[in-house]
Structure 1
Amino acid sequence: MQSFLLLFGVAACATSVIWIKKSGVDPVLLSGLRLVVASVALTPLFIRDWRRHRDVLTWRHYRDAAIPGVMLALHFITWLIGVRMTPAVNSTVLVNLTPIVMPLLLIWLTGERPNRRELLATGVAGIGLSILFVSDFNLSREQFNGDLVCLGSMLLLALYLTLGRKYRHHPTVWLYLVPLYYTAAVVALLLAPVFATDLSVDWPREWYWVLALGLIPTVLGHSLLNNAMRHFRGQVVGLASMLQFIIAGVLAYLLLPNETPAWTFYPASVFILLAGVIVVGRRKSRPAASPVATATRTAPPAEGTPTGSR
């Protein structure tokens, strides 16, 4: 079941490139608006879980949700800017290179090292990426800046997801995500007057794209990815996220003009799909115990001890 939810979240995230390219709202402002939609939509779940677990919540839980919230806001802003500067397939490939850097972040922040299966899957995915870079990837002068922005956004995404793995001590995923989304929304909206080139919104035309961006890739996509970080090893989630490249390429071909993938899209997709099958198709292994979880084996539950996700 968790494998299905992870793959469904990956598919939901892959739709973001469509809504971004359809919308004409400034990227900084659009980032804030999608986060407001997600925050408001999930607030009832937060209130429900807060009532159940308020006795064990401490200021540390809110702090640990706020830190990755800042990373998410910056990721969304740079991602939206990069998507509009480079083709959909290119931008999606670049932003999902997280398995290349996530092992280092996992070792640094959580002490979690990739196992042999994850290393094998990373190597297989690397073959697919090499096909794209060598044979198909177009680093033209016009797209080069967009490519760099997408690479920067990828680093922010990897850090944000890794922090989700590190801070999985929240009693439920909603007690972590909703403060995170609200923090990210505030950061993006505060940056909008400073960095946005146009703060106007043509709501009759834009409301659909803003709502779709907030509900599908954010509420469904990012929420399920963060939930997966509580149940799977970090590198598994990073490798599974690379499947976004395939889904986004197909959607862009069907829904966007002048977004026909080159022939190299297909062999690269085979390798990346195989990498996803290697890590997600297996039975979920038990995640490494966190220091808090380890402590519960020898001591009664202390304040802030996780009680499992809901």
Structure 2
Amino acid sequence: MKTGVNGLKNENTVINPYLGVILAVIAVSFSSIFTKLVSAPPLAIAFYRLSFAVLILAPLALNAAGRAEYAGISRRDLVLAVVSGVFLALHFVVWITSLNYTSVASSTVLVTLQALFVVAGSFFFFKEKISQKGLAGIALTLTGSVLIGINDFKIGGEALWGDLLAFSGAFFVAVYFLIGRSLRTRLSLFPYVFLVYGASSIFLLLFNIATATPLHPYPRLDWVWFFLLALVPTILGHTVFNWALRYVKTAVVSVSILGEPVGATILAYFIFREIPGLLQLIGGVTIILGLYTFITCYSVREGQN
């Protein structure tokens, strides 16, 4: 057993939490790619992404241990899980919509600026402090993010609207992670994410109905993308991030997500032939250097502890 950042005894893990975070970043990099390949409207994409994730996780969350944990959950934690799910739903709605107005690079960069909100929230609510080396890593990473998306920031009209949507998605997902930081000190992984994804999918269903968004029929290939969105960026991405919240500081998870634009831009080049410019290449290298500086700052310190 090992003691996590919250002072709790964590379950045994054979995976280094920092390696898990890196693998999760790779997984979420596929999110914008799969989304662009779907012909369904944004609200329907978000709904099926979370709903399929709930179905996949059901056997793991509703086993005997999971049911016992649900029986003892407090009303406060249940409400917090629902609120977290609502903010996750809002994040998906505005971010997916932004991809219809701006590029993969710009949208991904802006939404991953959630790290700023999370770092501030972690300090005020959880007293998690960032070292000078950690702040330098954050500064490098944010600089790289700006370099990647700077070309789109000069374009008005629809691209600007898409950028604003993506930025609002940054705030929503930050709230989701901050609530998760609190709940993961008391709830196991699968019962927690099952509650959050379930609440999120219900909210998205109601939103689809309220906006008269069609939930069918869609081409057969769309259903493949729905499933892959649930499996790769949601379960292998978001769920692993939530798993890591019990082992590392919230800032480590949120700042690491800033690596998503690098992966998304590389994938967009091979799949959509979206060729990155010189600034995007420099930005990608800067992000990697910043993430290395930030993560090693914490991994070395915790290893010594």
TM-score normalized with structure 1 length? 0.86
Write the distance in 2 (CA, Å) between the matches of 1:148 and 1:251: 23
Match of 1:234 in 2: 250
Write the distance in 2 (CA, Å) between the matches of 1:135 and 1:19: 23
- Structure 1 residue 233, shift from structure 2 partner: 1.1
The residue correspondences of 1:239-250 to structure 2 (distance < 5 A) are 239-250=255-266
Task: Report SS of the residue matched to 2:246.
Answer: helix
Match of 1:295 in 2: none
1:183 aligns with 2:199: yes
Q: Which moved more, 1:70-79 or 1:167-176?
A: 167-176
Given residue 32 of structure 2, which amino acid in structure 1 is its aligned partner? V
- Structure 1 residue 120, shift from structure 2 partner: 1.4
Q: Kindly tell me: are residues 201 and 16 of structure 1, through their superposed partners in 2, closer, same or farther at Cα, counting changes over 3 Å?
A: farther
Q: Kindly tell me: are residues 58 and 134 of structure 1, through their superposed partners in 2, closer, same or farther at Cα, counting changes over 3 Å?
A: closer
- Structure 1 residue 280, shift from structure 2 partner: 2.3
- Structure 1 residue 218, shift from structure 2 partner: 0.7
Task: Report SS of the residue matched to 2:56.
Answer: helix
Percent pairwise identity: 26
Match of 2:159 in 1: 143
- Structure 1 residue 30, shift from structure 2 partner: 1.4
**Backbone CA RMSD of aligned residues:** 2.1
Match of 2:54 in 1: 39
Which of 258, 268, 272 is the equivalent residue of 1:256? 272
- Structure 1 residue 247, shift from structure 2 partner: 0.2
Write the distance in 2 (CA, Å) between the matches of 1:135 and 1:192: 33
Q: Does structure 2 conserve the Cα–Cα contact (< 8 Å) formed by 1:103 and 1:235? A: yes
Q: Kindly tell me: are residues 261 and 162 of structure 1, through their superposed partners in 2, closer, same or farther at Cα, counting changes over 3 Å?
A: same
- Structure 1 residue 268, shift from structure 2 partner: 0.6
Unaligned runs of 5+ in 1: 288-310
Match of 1:110 in 2: 126
Q: Does structure 2 conserve the Cα–Cα contact (< 8 Å) formed by 1:102 and 1:159? A: yes
Match of 1:301 in 2: none
Q: How many residues align?
A: 286
Q: Kindly tell me: are residues 50 and 121 of structure 1, through their superposed partners in 2, closer, same or farther at Cα, counting changes over 3 Å?
A: same
- Structure 1 residue 196, shift from structure 2 partner: 5.0
Q: Does structure 1 conserve the Cα–Cα contact (< 8 Å) formed by 2:104 and 2:268? A: yes
Q: Kindly tell me: are residues 75 and 190 of structure 1, through their superposed partners in 2, closer, same or farther at Cα, counting changes over 3 Å?
A: same
CA deviation string 1:39-98 (max 9, x = no partner): 111111112331454564333332221111110011011111012211111111111112
Q: Kindly tell me: are residues 196 and 15 of structure 1, through their superposed partners in 2, closer, same or farther at Cα, counting changes over 3 Å?
A: farther
Unaligned runs of 5+ in 2: 1-15
- Structure 1 residue 243, shift from structure 2 partner: 0.6
Given residue 289 of structure 2, which amino acid in structure 1 is its aligned partner? L
- Structure 1 residue 117, shift from structure 2 partner: 2.8
Q: Kindly tell me: are residues 134 and 252 of structure 1, through their superposed partners in 2, closer, same or farther at Cα, counting changes over 3 Å?
A: closer
1:83 aligns with 2:99: yes
The residue correspondences of 1:26-175 to structure 2 (distance < 5 A) are 26-48=41-63, 49-51=65-67, 53=69, 56-132=72-148, 134=150, 137-175=153-191
- Structure 1 residue 200, shift from structure 2 partner: 3.1
Q: Does structure 1 conserve the Cα–Cα contact (< 8 Å) formed by 2:138 and 2:291? A: no
Which of 249, 258, 268 is the equivalent residue of 2:283? 268
1:22 aligns with 2:57: no
Q: Which moved more, 1:220-229 or 1:118-127?
A: 118-127
Q: Does structure 1 conserve the Cα–Cα contact (< 8 Å) formed by 2:106 and 2:149? A: no
Match of 1:220 in 2: 236
- Structure 1 residue 274, shift from structure 2 partner: 0.9
- Structure 1 residue 281, shift from structure 2 partner: 3.4
The residue correspondences of 1:268-287 to structure 2 (distance < 5 A) are 268-282=283-297, 283=299, 285=301
Q: Which moved more, 1:109-118 or 1:21-30?
A: 109-118
Q: Kindly tell me: are residues 231 and 205 of structure 1, through their superposed partners in 2, closer, same or farther at Cα, counting changes over 3 Å?
A: same
- Structure 1 residue 104, shift from structure 2 partner: 1.8
Given residue 251 of structure 1, which amino acid in structure 2 is its aligned partner? L
CA deviation string 1:144-176 (max 9, x = no partner): 111100001111111111111122223411121
Q: Which moved more, 1:204-213 or 1:107-116?
A: 107-116
Write the distance in 1 (CA, Å) between the matches of 2:36 and 2:142: 27
